[in-house]
Amino acid sequence: MTNEEKVLDTMRKAGEPLNAGKIAELAGLDKKDVDKAMTKLKTDGSIVSPVRCKWEPASK
């Protein structure tokens, strides 16, 4: 499972918008790895920000 998949899976399980620090904590990943994964996910439109500094999976 890639870091991107772990980040998305963690977001889905949480059921609420999360910031990168909380995602790192819940997924057991380093925050730098979460930041890199989130950059890729933002670029391809997989995640959206409903609230400032918090992210959730995009509705597809």
For residue 15, give its domain range. Answer: 3-57
Say if CB 38 and CB 24 are below 8 A apart: no
User: How much is the pLDDT for 7?
Assistant: 97
pLDDT, one tens digit per residue, over 2-49 is 999 999 999 999 999 999 999 999 999 999 999 999 999 999 999 999
* Counted domains in the chain: 1
What CATH code is carried by the domain that includes residue 51? 1.10.10.10
- Tell me the residue type at 16: E
- Are β-strands 47-51 and 54-57 bridged in parallel, bridged antiparallel, or unpaired? antiparallel
Structure tokens at 26: 């819940």
- Decide if pLDDT at 60 tops 70: no
